[in-house]
Amino acid sequence: MLSTLNESQQKAAQHIDGPMLILAGAGSGKTKTITTRLAYLISIGIDPSSILTLTFTNKAATEMRERAFSMIDKNTYPPLLCTFHKFGLLFLKFHISQLGRKNNFVIIDSDDKKRILKSIDKETTTAVLSSEISKFKNSVVSIAEAKASAQDKLYMQIADVYEKYENYLEQNNLVDFDDLILLTYKILSTNKELAKETSEKYRYIMVDEYQDTNELQYMLLKKLCDQHNNLCVVGDDDQSIYGWRGATIKNILTFGETFENTLIIKLEENYRSTNKILFHANALIEHNRDRLGKKLVGTRGEGNSIRVYESQDENEETRKITEDIKKLISNGESAKDIAILYRVNALSRALEEGLNRANIHYKLVGGLKFYERAEIKDLIAYFRVITNANDNFSIKRIINKPKRGIGKMTIDKLELESHKKSKSMFSIIKEYTPDELTVLVGKKNSRTLKVFMASVEDLQDVLEDTKMRFIDLFEDTFDFKSTYAKVIDAEDRLANIDEFYGYLRDFFIKNIDLNLEDFLNEISLESAADAISDEYISLMSIHASKGLEFKHLFIVGMEEGFFPLVGDGSNIEEERRLGYVAITRACDELTMSFVHSRFYKGRRTQLVKSRFLTESDLIKGSLTIEKNSAFKKDDLVKHKIFGMGRILSVQKAGKDLKLNINFGGMKRDILSSFVEKI
């Protein structure tokens, strides 16, 4: 079973006792190595029931199980190989009684969770409550700590809801997804005997995709290793791209410090991409400071150079890419081997339209098509009401967005009256006197509905007068964006809304004689234009592409502000890791594209090409950022003669680095090739 592995993979597979970090570069045979190690441990007589392998997805667990089990005796007791959450579920079924609860608990899904939160607090956005409570749990923040750390009214309210939500779960013997790990950790923390027993049961623990672990998962692993240090983790610090959902890159960066005598093995041979692609991926990621340092080495030959497309706008960009794709398909390439990646989901709109026009079948991976997104459907419903106020279906969708206090009962009463009188709901609101409307829906709702009707009529007048002022006045009137400003994926949603506004503006500029109704008719045709086919190219965000590979890859939106995202909350090192992930999805051919202008926040904006194009040595540019090649200031290093020292400064010296090192008071300038990092 070891014969198909390279030297580094064999070394990792045969390591048995003590902590080990397998630093596995993109396309370096990570899964093959960890599954072979699992089979190897069993083959040398280690009890399979003492081996625990943890993954992040059921899909990964299934693939690893099949690959590992194909190498071992069919009669062997199967070792436990599952997700973190599945492990938590199994543990709680045996031990939740430690918390004074029964083991016939029910696991609630995200919709159940939102319904419970909604019943507790109708005012605060449910998505915000759900997200913040999840963060509390994954950072092991208690209710008391959440209350003590609340700095403003919103977080005081969230902490209060957190307490009521937890009480509700306990009273009804429910657990949410986060509880599967949190309650397991709590039990192991409070029962030392059980922690010892569990740790002795699982003497050999392996973790896949370790760079994606969060604070809680790290703390659980520490408990599971209570009686031993036989923890093997596999991951790639350069592919840690989920900081926004709680993953902590420090878990992998500090693994060697946390677990003494860690063996670090680097898998640097890449079996996926050509040398040219790997050269530029390595060049980009070397600019990051927070990394352990490795360099991908190709096994597939030089390959073609990466192409960089420069276009005036997104329409020219889409035209070039669709022409390339048509050529590839006509030359016999399979559509499933072709993909287009982007950092910001809103960029898919222009691509979707271009692909529809070119009759190229596509699928959106891990996302909804542009016109199927909730925020866009809401906008379309608003515009339909403005062009045709008698559209009951659209009125029902938007009458309480943003929230106006119009509940389901009020909508039902209006709809019933509409059927009785054979008039539209809008006509009822318009024609009834305030007193008549008050009898139907109550005084407060009557006033709200009259204001809504007047707003729609004002915007109808604006459309008659000047189309170009319509969008600004629409947003001023309804404050539509506020509906999505505080949801968990607000940035994406608001970008989609701005993209839609920009598209409408552009439509009015290019079609002076056409109106809003013509625009709505056109997009109805576009969104229904998908033909049925077995062969699709893939459109997806870079996050959705992780773990996938494509022979022919296009990365669009290589502009500052789009990729990398810049501004509040953005992390340039994580953005750069995303760039590295994107480039290393390509096997044979890669095209990266930037434009001089795009719709940005609803207006056409001049853009600057991405720094990543310069940093990856694809184009020359004035932007220079100091490289980090595994050595940086304050690193500890070892020299054969001078022993251990600390780096004081790093300078470029040809292809090497000149390090000024303090060896216990004696300072020396030494080239980096003569020392090794500790």
**Other beta carbons within 10 Å of 385:** 24
CB 574 within 8 A of CB 245: no
Q: Is 208 a catalytic residue?
A: yes
CB 595 within 8 A of CB 312: yes
3-state secondary structure of 149: helix
15 vs 40: CA distance, rounded Å? 10
Catalytic annotation, pick one of 31, 258, 438, 605: 31
503 vs 515: CA distance, rounded Å? 13
Q: Is 438 a catalytic residue?
A: no
Q: What is the DSSP letter of 227?
A: T
CB 15 within 8 A of CB 54: no
Quick one: three-class SS letters along 66-84?
A: HHHHCCCCCCCCCCEEEEH
| Residue 314, C-beta contacts closer than 8 angstroms, at least 6 positions apart | 347, 350, 595, 598, 599
Catalytic annotation, pick one of 132, 176, 178, 209: 209
| Residue 327, C-beta contacts closer than 8 angstroms, at least 6 positions apart | none
The answer to whether the peptide bond before residue 78 is cis (omega within 30 degrees of 0) is no
- Six token digits for residue 292: 């352990």
**Other beta carbons within 10 Å of 666:** 10
- Six token digits for residue 663: 């060896």
Scan for tokens 């990266």, then name that residue: 592
Catalytic annotation, pick one of 132, 178, 179, 208: 208
Closest by CA position to 508, among listed 496, 520, 494: 520
Chain-centroid distance, C-alpha 25: 20
CB 584 within 8 A of CB 272: yes
Residue 214 exposed, middle or buried by CB count within 10 Å (0-12, 13-18, 19+) = buried
Angle of helix 516-527 relative to helix 374-387, nearest 10 degrees? Answer: 140
55 vs 505: CA distance, rounded Å? 47
Q: DSSP states of 251-316 as a string?
A: HHHTHHHHSTT-EEEEE-EESSS-HHHHHHHHHHHTT-SS------EESS---PPPEEEEESSHHH
Q: What is the DSSP letter of 609?
A: B
Catalytic annotation, pick one of 30, 37, 65, 113: 30
222 vs 199: CA distance, rounded Å? 10
Q: Which residue(s) pair with 204 in the sheet? A: 51
Helical H segments across 5-103, by residue range: 7-14, 30-43, 58-69, 84-95
Q: Is 239 a catalytic residue?
A: yes
- Six token digits for residue 55: 């993954």
Q: Is 576 a catalytic residue?
A: no
Catalytic annotation, pick one of 291, 294, 343, 585: 585
- Six token digits for residue 625: 């950022």
Residue 292 exposed, middle or buried by CB count within 10 Å (0-12, 13-18, 19+) = middle
Which stretches of 140-192 are assigned E, i.e. beta strand?
174-175
In sign, the C-alpha dihedral spanning 133, 134, 139, 142 is positive
- Six token digits for residue 614: 């310069």
Q: Is 227 a catalytic residue?
A: no
Catalytic annotation, pick one of 184, 239, 322, 584: 239
CB 610 within 8 A of CB 272: no
In sign, the C-alpha dihedral spanning 396, 398, 403, 405 is negative
Angle of helix 153-171 relative to helix 126-138, nearest 10 degrees? Answer: 80
In sign, the C-alpha dihedral spanning 337, 341, 345, 348 is negative
- Six token digits for residue 558: 């290589």
Task: Please list the active-site residues.
Answer: 30-31, 208-209, 239, 585
